[in-house]
Amino acid sequence: MTGLLISAAHKSSGKTTVSVGLCAALVGLGQVVQAFKKGPDYIDPMWLSRASGRACFNLDSHLSSAAQVQTCYSRLAAKADISIVEGNKGLYDGLALDGANSNAALATLLGLPVVLVIDARGMTRGIAPLILGYQAFDPGVRIAGVILNQVGGSRHENKLRAVIEHYTPVKVLGAIAQDPHLAMVERHLGLVPQHEVDDAHQRIEHMGRVISAQVDLHRVMEIARTATPFTPSAPPAKPPSASMLGIASGLRVGIAQDKAFGFYYPDDLCAFERMGASLHRFDCLNDSRLPDVDALFIGGGFPEMFMAELEANSAMRSSIRAAIDSGMPVYAECGGLMYLARRIRWGDQSHDMVGALPVDVRMHSRPVGRGYVELTHTQNAPWTSPADATSSSPVDGLIRGHEFHHSAIENAPADLKFAYSVQRGHGVDGQHDGIVHQQVLASYAHLRTQAGSTWVSDFVKFAHSRKIASTGLSKPGARHVKVNGHPVWTDVEGYLLRMDDWSEGFTQAQAQSENLQLTDAHWAVIRFLRQYFEEHRVQAQVRTMISHFSRCWGAELGSNHHLHTMFPMGGPQKQGNRLAGLWKTKGEH
């Protein structure tokens, strides 16, 4: 795999400008470019996606395991000619004292050479010890070249090149002259997203032309080809089972995508589609009503920048409010939470929003919440439960994400319910996050599926079950049991209509409906049946069960007679599989 990591000595050195320009320039050479961004970020990936023509994916070593990062990178890089990974902050910056989550560590993990972008303003001879120091700090990090940024003319460039070539072994790949047209537009939360910039296409084209003229692209590609091949440090996660794929076929999810809302991870959007849900875009600024959908996803963005326009579109606000009042499941993050509130106040301005949540929002001049968050579910979480053994939470029970907001909640009622307790971060009030109201969960935390959370599958299953319950889409004669207050549908015999609806809560509810008192031995059989199915994709034969449990429990307790005594309604192959969430079989396999 061919690739490199773009980093810098410190933030605001021009990494994003160089990365976006490189993507555009390489695409101009006919290269298939896959862009990545280190860490949690939405805005830089938007620009990188626009420049490369392909969705940019985030590589976050704090929210994801090393194997997950490697698997994500290798899966996508294999489909491209060259991969460009844009770092965040400086090369050696990060949360950990040992640099375990730094850009340098990411480059080492992925076997990537590093190209260092250096803001050269005011520098001449002093650039040499800076480069030498960065090389010496961690000799295992391969700094293969530098790109000089903000160069003050040809004389300045010549001095810099002479110093670097005399004192260091690092090659100068290019020198970018000071150019006000290369400046990225910024505001209180960083760069302005490309979808808000009317001339974004022209800006990217200009970056590409500048990089093409002032950076040695062929040398860049040569360096990228020196990337070291690697094998992920652990086997990748199993692909979704057949019971997961298409589970929500027919579910229509509305997604707010306009100038006010646009913060979505491509992993999440892909996860919706894998489960069979279709995504339907709507514009909160210009559309008059929601499309025909069963659920809503309103991501982050900058509603505060469009308060007047959002307020003016009263038709859309009314349409969303009516959908929520009718019980439509909704998931909203940060900006989406703000839009669903009664109003947003910023300075002396106040504008009405949807009014579905009984809270107001006020903007502040400094960040209220910023950084990684760790959450645990409360009993009010609408589509999972801390008691549910199949919850999407990691084994330590924590849901991990990130937040970055200048707004805070005001005038909330004392009995407001929350889906999360905050273990790290700020959330709504420093202790809670995830406002729960009707079928809405609205939080300041941004979650990403398979990176600290699998919220998409939880939300989709919840929304699909609500659709079935409200529209009667279950099969004739179907029945249901209640699990954590929500219906789980089965056929008339008690077999799940969708195997991925299984949970230990379902087994308990179904066993109760069949007057079966579950013991540890029952659970051992149920877990064996599920594990066997996961490994072989077919239900276990009765003789396989007898062989296994005779070894575990002895010949008498592992006998066919005893297993049928444990599961009196059809034996382990019928009642056992039913309670294990597996479908009925036609005889033995």
Ordered DSSP codes for 266-310: HHHHHHHHHTT-EEEEE-TTT-SS--S-SEEEE-EE-GGGGHHHH
Listed in sequence order, the DSSP H helices in 95-190 are 103-110, 127-137, 154-167
Q: C-alpha distances in angstroms, 430 versus 26, 180, 285?
A: 45, 41, 31
**How many C-beta neighbours within 10 Å does residue 16 have?**
25
284 catalytic? Reply is: no
Residue 450 contacts residue 67 (beta carbons within 8 Å) = no
Residue 285 contacts residue 310 (beta carbons within 8 Å) = yes
Ordered DSSP codes for 200-227: HHHHHHHHHHHHHHHB-HHHHHHHHTTP
Beta bridge partners of 372: 402
Packing angle of the helix pair 154-167, 127-137 (nearest 10 deg):
40
Residue 435 contacts residue 443 (beta carbons within 8 Å) = yes
Q: Residue 7 and residue 53: Cα distance in Å, rounded?
A: 22
The b/e string for 23-60 (b: 16+ C-beta within 10 A; e otherwise) is bbbbbeeebebbbbbbbbbbbbbbbbbbbbebbbbbbb
Residue 362 contacts residue 400 (beta carbons within 8 Å) = no
Listed in sequence order, the DSSP H helices in 326-366 are 335-340
Q: Residue 285 and residue 403: Cα distance in Å, rounded?
A: 24
Percent composition of the chain: helix, strand, coil (DSSP 3-state, to 5): 35, 25, 40
399-405 and 369-377 beta bridge pairing = antiparallel
**Phi then psi for 492, rounded to 5 degrees?**
-65, -25
Active-site entry in 72, 270, 334, 552: 334
Q: Residues with catalytic annotation?
A: 334
